[in-house]
Structure 1
Amino acid sequence: MTEKLQQLESVVIRSLRLFRDRYFPYKADKEDLQPAADQGNEEKEESGFLESLPVGVQFQIMTFLSPSDICRLGATSQYWRAMVRDSLLWRYFLLRDTPGWSSIDHVTMPNLDMLDAPLISVEESLDDREEGDEREREIKFDYMSEYLKGCPSCRQKWLPSRPAYAVMTSFLQYIVRPSELRYAMFGPGMEQLDVSLVTRLMHAHDVLPVATTPCRQTNGIGSGISYMFKNQHKFNILTLYSTNRAERERARVEQQSTSSKLFTVEGTDDSGNPLYSPTPYVQKVCQVVDGFIYVANAESDRVDWKGEVSQIRVLLNCAADSASRPLLVLSCVAREQSETINTTKRRTPCVSVAKRLGLPQLSNPWMPLLHIQVQDTVAESLSGLLDGISWLLRSSGVKLHDGSP
């Protein structure tokens, strides 16, 4: 990643310099940071000190600014308006910043496939590109829009306003909503990590107090536990484990996969992806819950998540009126990870988890209102959990008091 960023950085600087030399030749670089001798005082005052800096220095300054500050900089002059809209500049920001985003949802998820597009062709030199080609590239790959709609500090401004039917739907949900919302929680992140998220959740009374005593469910698949969110709303989590505790523990220690008892394999599709069918008990659970919590193993270095993708899809499909039931994905690691600690268990960024699970494709013509959020979570400290639960309750029509996340 570092090497790729460095390569892109040099390309961005060359692109900015090319643009500046072509359209603002009187602002040519002064590498010694001194103005040209023949430049009048009036022109110096008009251009400003920042505009007279070398392009490389201007780029470094922009890398320290927040997205909002960069946009404000673009409003100061025609020169900066053009410079801050450079497509490759925002491609650099996307590549640099998306791994650090702690959450993403179905509206703000950026198109990461844009980052795989080639910068320039083998036969094409960056310095010889024509203006029309650059305009076409910017239209095809609007990195700036993708960044601003997904950046945590900017995304609220980019969220679409709620249509009238959504307001009415929320009102009807409030009327008919049960007193205790129920959510089904499943996924390998509950079973494969060194720290059990479910166990920590049951004993973290300072985070989510347990409202009722757990009771065993049918077939020993899971336990329904009720929690109280910030003394405001009670909700129930029904855990769906892939198998019994002994087999799960053995698989975790041996780092082996287990055959899930939640599904039966029906075969494969035309692409070779597994086709699953939920057991009758799981089907019944999906029909009565108000939403889903999928716990992803963000420590996994696997690239192929096709099995998990199929399981998520089949559970959503067997739920009645699945479009109105939110899906919260907890991108979970066992412990807080420090950059100073040399470990092979690095967190997979939440945007990468969303892409690997195919979550952007879940909102299809049959489920256009499906609400999805991916939230970074730590099992040991439960960091990020309350943010995810808050989003889940709001997406279910719950009105939280001011001051809640």
Structure 2
Amino acid sequence: PDVDAERDEPQLEYLDSLPVDLQFLIMTFLSPVDICKLGATSQYWRAMVRDPLLWRYFLLRDMLQWSSIDHLSMPDLELLDAPLVSEDESLDDREEGSEKDREFKFDYMSEYMKGCPSCRQKWLPSRPAYKLVTSFLHYLVPSSEPRYAMFGPGMEQLDVPLVTRLTHSPDLLPVSIPHRQIEGIGSGLSFLFNNQHKFNIVTLYSTNRAERERARLEQQSSSNKLFSFVGSDNSGCPVYSPSPLVKQVCHVMDGLIYVSNAEPGKGDEKTEMAQIKAMLNCAENTTLLVLSCVSREQEEETSTARSRTPCVYVAQRLGLSQLSSRWMVQDTVAESLSGFMEGIAWLLRCSGVKLYGR
């Protein structure tokens, strides 16, 4: 009987007997789901898996791979720069402090759960926020086609032109060729999403095609006809005002699509932030989709070198957390249009469109 009792002892006892540093090392190889399961086995492991150092490690490791982030899930990146122990506080003081205080100051676990895409899916509403219209009234009330204005350096600086790829996409059916040219810097496009929902995109370029191509080849910036420089604010950041025609366009848009150049080393932080704010000021209570765009997929043999700026850092660079509007950053590849459909789906849902099967 004694032998049987020893055989039936929980296997976790071996893990319990290991030094704490080895326990933490083992936990770094587990997924967050497995970590939570481990925490349900005993009070000891419940306390261990909530350690802020562990979840800080998970956050630093995994957020670089997240393909999207939004106004509800953006982690507080300032926590990652904050020391776990202040200068006037010793490690012994931290041990003597209450668990509640430690969780309040360093709740990396909550930040991770809030931002992780797989965790976010569990919090999506099962029903649309708006009331359903009866089938009879549905045919009486004509459905409006959402309209979005697309702009940003990613439309002009990448080797693969995003808009050209959109017009030839088999998944996103173009139902209308470019029309209504806007002073040589923009045009309107109509698309059919999921073979069901029609929407319109107004493309806004900084200048005409010839000047854009010359600036791209010479790796220089061209004069921007969408905005005029007004001055600088109290913090020294530039202030821009959209042109009168762009203001008229923004007033009738249901949302904005900003195409950011996510290739490493690209982007002018202060200019981009100022121009996004200028557009949002013209389009009140609108939503903002940021396509964090690169030209091509990363090749396997060059996987050691990062081929794009992670979406959380794109959101930080653009100062999106300071905005009062709803926003989302979606990783996108111009050549394959990977991620574009996911971003448009979010934008359509924000416009009140019911997407079946998503």
| Counterparts in 2 of 1:122 and 1:133: CA distance versus 1, 3 Å | farther
Task: Tell me what 2:71 maps to.
Answer: 106
The alignment partner of 2:174 has SS state of: coil
The alignment partner of 1:153 has SS state of: helix
- Matching residue within 289, 294, 301 for 1:328: 289
Is there any run of 5+ residues in structure 2 with no aligned partner, and where?
A: none
Once residues 70 and 384 of structure 1 are traced to their aligned partners in structure 2, the CA distance between those partners, rounded to angstroms, is 29
Q: How does 1:157-176 map to 2 (within 5 A)?
A: 157-158=122-123, 167=130
Question: Which is strand-richer, 1 or 2?
Answer: 2
Once residues 78 and 202 of structure 2 are traced to their aligned partners in structure 1, the CA distance between those partners, rounded to angstroms, is 35
Q: CA deviation at 1:344?
A: 7.2
Residue 192 in 1 paired to residue 153 in 2? no
Structure 1 residue identity aligned to 2:14: F
Once residues 52 and 225 of structure 1 are traced to their aligned partners in structure 2, the CA distance between those partners, rounded to angstroms, is 65
Give the number of aligned pairs: 349
Contact 1:299/1:345 (CA < 8 Å) preserved in 2? Answer: no
The RMSD of aligned alpha carbons is 2.8
Task: Tell me what 1:19 maps to.
Answer: none
Q: CA deviation at 1:65?
A: 2.6
Task: Tell me what 2:309 maps to.
Answer: 348
Once residues 301 and 133 of structure 1 are traced to their aligned partners in structure 2, the CA distance between those partners, rounded to angstroms, is 43
Identity over aligned residues, as a percent? 67
- Matching residue within 129, 140, 147 for 1:182: 147
- Matching residue within 10, 17, 23 for 1:52: 17
- Matching residue within 105, 120, 131 for 2:85: 120
The one-character-per-residue Cα deviations of 1:76-99 (angstroms, maximum 9, x if unpaired) are: 111110001001111111111111
Q: How does 1:6-405 map to 2 (within 5 A)?
A: 45=10, 48-121=13-86, 126=91, 129-132=94-97, 135-158=100-123, 167=130, 178-204=143-169, 206-302=170-266, 304-319=268-283, 322-323=284-285, 325-338=286-299, 340-341=301-302, 346-363=307-324, 370-402=325-357, 404=358
Contact 2:74/2:312 (CA < 8 Å) preserved in 1? Answer: yes
Contact 1:67/1:154 (CA < 8 Å) preserved in 2? Answer: no
Q: CA deviation at 1:345?
A: 7.1
| Counterparts in 2 of 1:241 and 1:345: CA distance versus 1, 3 Å | farther
Q: CA deviation at 1:139?
A: 0.9
The alignment partner of 2:214 has SS state of: helix
The one-character-per-residue Cα deviations of 1:271-316 (angstroms, maximum 9, x if unpaired) are: 1111111111000100111111110000142575111111111111
Question: TM-score normalised to the size of structure 2?
Answer: 0.89
The one-character-per-residue Cα deviations of 1:121-158 (angstroms, maximum 9, x if unpaired) are: 46765466442177534312211100001101111335
Contact 1:108/1:149 (CA < 8 Å) preserved in 2? Answer: yes
Once residues 387 and 202 of structure 1 are traced to their aligned partners in structure 2, the CA distance between those partners, rounded to angstroms, is 17
Question: TM-score normalised to the size of structure 1?
Answer: 0.79
Once residues 111 and 144 of structure 1 are traced to their aligned partners in structure 2, the CA distance between those partners, rounded to angstroms, is 12
Once residues 381 and 65 of structure 1 are traced to their aligned partners in structure 2, the CA distance between those partners, rounded to angstroms, is 32
The one-character-per-residue Cα deviations of 1:142-199 (angstroms, maximum 9, x if unpaired) are: 1110000110111133568999xx535x97xx99775321110000000011111111
| Counterparts in 2 of 1:138 and 1:59: CA distance versus 1, 3 Å | same
The alignment partner of 2:183 has SS state of: helix
Contact 1:99/1:350 (CA < 8 Å) preserved in 2? Answer: yes
The alignment partner of 1:72 has SS state of: helix
Q: CA deviation at 1:259?
A: 2.3
Q: CA deviation at 1:117?
A: 0.8
Structure 2 residue identity aligned to 1:399: K
Q: CA deviation at 1:72?
A: 1.9
| Counterparts in 2 of 1:176 and 1:112: CA distance versus 1, 3 Å | farther
Once residues 22 and 214 of structure 2 are traced to their aligned partners in structure 1, the CA distance between those partners, rounded to angstroms, is 56
Contact 1:67/1:148 (CA < 8 Å) preserved in 2? Answer: no
| Counterparts in 2 of 1:178 and 1:290: CA distance versus 1, 3 Å | farther
